[in-house]
């Protein structure tokens, strides 16, 4: 089974980013027991989908390494704000969507962004994500975090004609309750300074790599 010493270089390579940066963030998460801990070497803890998701999210959600633990904890708990797929839409609008593969239907029941992230990695580990993506022409899965405005989303698009991913299969958005969101935005001073948003997104390539890592 994969250990943290395997997870760190895997993420560093697929993103890509310096392995030393990933290692520093991983140690901080482990210190706060947000990543499974154990002995050393062969006795080290086996990585879970949650471990992989927390490390990935810490990288995605923090502007600076020192903020990674707090950012990971905060974004992990964001509840589902909206979740849509073809069969959730009014009948007149369903032609604008592609069908959601059965292998992904369990993910429509998640309650938090962390659940969705870990669920996707678990689906990649178990082969369900590959099965789902094989059922969509030109699949494009995007997991996105907007650091400044404290929101996250997961979307899957596909193609209706084999040329471009031009139809949505599923889209889920995550954000804290509005009162909490207002406090976070005020604390971050988003209304001061420039107008740039800070978005970090990954595709199915990262999720599949993590699933393959913990499958072995």
Confidence of residue 189 (pLDDT cuts 50, 70, 90): low
Does residue 129 have a pLDDT over 70? yes
More confident residue, 177 or 137: 137
Mean pLDDT for the chain? Answer: 91
What pLDDT is stored for residue 149 in this prediction?
84
What pLDDT is stored for residue 188 in this prediction?
66
Per-residue pLDDT, averaged over 6-13, amounts to 97
Least confident of 101-110, 183-192, 202-211: 183-192
Confidence of residue 84 (pLDDT cuts 50, 70, 90): very high
Confidence of residue 190 (pLDDT cuts 50, 70, 90): low
The model scores a pTM over 0.85:
yes
Does residue 157 have a pLDDT over 80? yes
Burial degree of 204 (CB within 10 A; 0-12, 13-18, 19+): buried
Beta-carbon contacts of residue 134 (< 8 Å; ≥ 6 apart)? none
Among all chains, which residue has been given the structure tokens 């990262």? 206
Residue 147 in tokens: 């650091």
Report the C-alpha gap between 112 and 79 in whole angstroms: 4
Report the C-alpha gap between 107 and 96 in whole angstroms: 21
Least confident of 112-116, 147-151, 173-177: 147-151
Per-residue pLDDT, averaged over 66-77, amounts to 94
What pLDDT is stored for residue 179 in this prediction?
73
Would you call the peptide bond into 16 cis, given omega within 30 degrees of 0 as the criterion? yes
What pLDDT is stored for residue 128 in this prediction?
96
Residues above pLDDT 90, as percent of the chain:
75
């Amino acid at each position: 089974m994969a250990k943290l010493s395997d997870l760190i270089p895997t993420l560093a390579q697929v993103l890509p980013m310096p392995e030393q940066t990933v290692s520093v963030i991983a140690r901080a998460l482990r210190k706060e027991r947000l990543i499974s801990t154990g002995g050393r070497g062969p006795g080290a803890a086996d990585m879970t989908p949650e471990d992989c998701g927390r490390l990935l999210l810490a990288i995605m959600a923090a502007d600076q390494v020192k903020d990674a633990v707090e950012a990971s904890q905060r974004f992990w708990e964001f509840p589902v704000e909206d979740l849509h797929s073809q069969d959730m839409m009014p009948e007149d609008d369903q032609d604008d969507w592609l069908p959601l593969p059965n292998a992904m239907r369990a993910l429509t029941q998640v309650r938090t962004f962390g659940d969705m992230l870990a669920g996707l990695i678990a689906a990649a580990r178990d082969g369900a994500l590959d099965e789902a993506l094989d059922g969509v022409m030109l699949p494009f899965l995007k997991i996105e975090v907007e650091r400044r405005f404290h929101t996250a989303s997961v979307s899957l698009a596909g193609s209706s004609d084999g040329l471009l991913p031009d139809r949505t299969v599923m889209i889920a958005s995550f954000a804290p309750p509005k009162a909490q969101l207002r406090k976070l935005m005020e604390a971050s001073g988003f209304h001061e300074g420039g107008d740039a948003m800070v978005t970090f997104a990954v595709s199915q390539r990262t999720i599949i790599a993590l699933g393959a890592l913990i499958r072995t």
